[in-house]
C-alpha cells in the first residue's frame, strides 16, 4: 500500500451512514478496532493510512507482563477511535494469539489483513484456527477481511482491464472459499456471507474503478462505520 496515497472525501455518504456516524460521535468511549494478520500483511501501513497524521501511540498491555499490541488513538469524522496493532500475531505463538483474542470484550470491530498476493500467508491457517477457538460468535459479525497490496497484484497482471477485474474477483473468491473451509465447523454460512471483504492499496486507475474503488480508504471506513 502507498503511504502517500491522497484520499479525497468526494463521495456522498448515505443517510444511514450519516446517522451511524452521528451516533458513534456521541459514544463516551472510543470505538476499539483490533487489526490482526500475518507479519508482512501490511497491518501497520493500513493503520497509518486509516488514521493519517492524527494518531497518538500509547502503551498498552492486554495481559499483565505482556505487551501484545501497539495502540493508536485518534479520530475519524469526529468519532473517537482506538486501533490495536497486534505484535507477532499468527507467528506460531498461539499463546500470544489467544491472549489477544481473550481480551475481545474490549473490541468493537476486527480487521483481518491478508496479502492478496499470497505472500506471508503461511500462518493464515494458524490465525483462523485461533479465531475459531477464541473469537466469540458475535464478533464474527463485526469482522472485515482486508485484502492488502492489491495494487501489486494488479501490476503483475499483464492483461486487459477486464481480465484484471476478473483476476481480482477470482482471487477474492479463492480466499473466501479457503477461509470458509477452515472455519465452517464454527461459523455458519449465513454469518460468513455477511463478512465484508475489502481490497486496499489500489492505484487510482479510473478504468478499474467499478471493481477496485478509486477512493478505497473512504470505502473501507464506510464499511467499518456500517
- pLDDT at residue number 143: 93
- Using DSSP's 3-state secondary structure scheme, residue 56 falls into strand
Residue 3 has pLDDT above 70, yes or no: no
In the prediction, which pLDDT does 132 show?
A: 83
* pLDDT band per the 50, 70, 90 thresholds, residue 24: very high
Q: What is the grid cell recorded at 188?
A: 455458519
pLDDT of residue 64: 39
32-225 adopts what CATH topology?
A: Rossmann fold (3.40.50)
Is the Cβ–Cβ distance between 225 and 19 less than 8 Å?
A: no
Strands 69-76 and 109-115: unpaired
Domain spans of the chain?
Answer: 32-225
In this predicted structure, the answer to whether residue 51 has a pLDDT above a threshold of 50 is: yes
| pTM of the full structure | 0.81
> 149 and 201 in contact (C-beta within 8 Å)?
yes
- DSSP labels, 180-204: HHHHTTTS-HHHHHTSEEEE-S---
**Can you count the helices (H) and strands (E) in the chain?**
9, 7
- CB 46, CB 111: distance < 8 Å: yes
Q: Which of 16-30, 35-49, 207-221 has the highest mean pLDDT?
A: 16-30
The x, y and z cell numbers of residue 150, run together, are: 492489491
- What is residue 1's predicted lDDT score, i.e. its pLDDT? 39
In this prediction, residue 58 carries a pLDDT of 52
> What per-residue confidence (pLDDT) applies to 30?
92
pLDDT at 165: 81
pLDDT class for 209, splitting at 50, 70, 90?
very low
Residue-wise pLDDT for 77-125, tens only, equals 999 998 888 766 666 554 556 666 665 557 899 999 888 887 656 677 8
Closest CA to 31 of 215, 226, 197: 226
**Around Cβ 142, how many Cβ atoms within 10 Å?**
19
pLDDT-derived band at 67, boundaries 50, 70, 90: very low
Confidence of residue 128 (pLDDT cuts 50, 70, 90): confident
How far apart are the two ends of the chain, measured CA to CA in Å?
Answer: 23
Q: Does pLDDT of 190 surpass 80?
A: yes
Strand partners, 196: 144
Confidence band (pLDDT; 50, 70, 90) for 2?
Answer: very low
Amino acid at each position: 500500500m502507498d503511504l502517500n496515497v491522497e484520499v479525497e472525501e468526494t463521495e456522498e455518504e448515505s443517510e444511514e451512514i450519516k446517522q451511524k456516524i452521528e451516533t458513534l460521535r456521541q459514544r463516551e468511549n472510543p470505538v476499539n478496532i483490533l487489526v490482526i494478520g500475518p507479519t508482512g500483511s501490511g497491518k501497520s501501513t493500513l493503520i497509518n493510512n486509516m488514521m493519517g497524521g492524527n494518531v497518538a501511540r500509547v502503551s498498552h498491555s492486554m495481559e499483565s507482563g505482556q505487551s501484545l499490541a501497539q495502540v493508536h488513538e485518534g479520530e475519524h469524522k469526529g468519532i473517537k477511535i482506538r486501533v490495536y496493532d497486534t505484535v507477532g500475531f499468527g507467528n506460531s505463538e498461539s499463546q500470544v494469539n489467544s491472549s489477544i483474542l481473550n481480551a475481545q470484550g474490549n473490541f468493537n470491530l476486527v480487521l483481518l489483513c491478508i496479502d492478496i498476493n499470497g505472500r506471508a500467508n503461511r500462518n493464515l491457517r494458524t490465525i483462523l484456527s485461533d479465531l475459531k477457538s477464541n473469537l466469540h460468535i458475535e464478533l464474527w459479525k463485526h469482522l472485515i477481511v482486508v485484502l492488502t497490496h492489491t495494487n501489486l497484484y494488479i501490476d503483475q497482471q499483464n492483461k486487459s482491464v477486464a481480465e484484471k477485474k476478473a483476476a481480482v474477483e477470482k482471487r477474492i473468491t479463492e480466499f473466501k472459499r479457503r477461509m470458509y473451509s477452515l472455519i465452517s465447523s464454527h461459523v455458519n454460512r449465513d454469518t460468513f456471507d455477511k463478512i465484508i471483504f475489502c481490497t486496499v492499496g489500489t492505484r487510482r486507475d479510473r478504468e478499474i474503478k467499478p471493481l477496485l474503488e478509486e477512493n478505497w480508504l473512504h470505502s473501507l471506513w464506510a464499511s467499518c462505520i456500517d
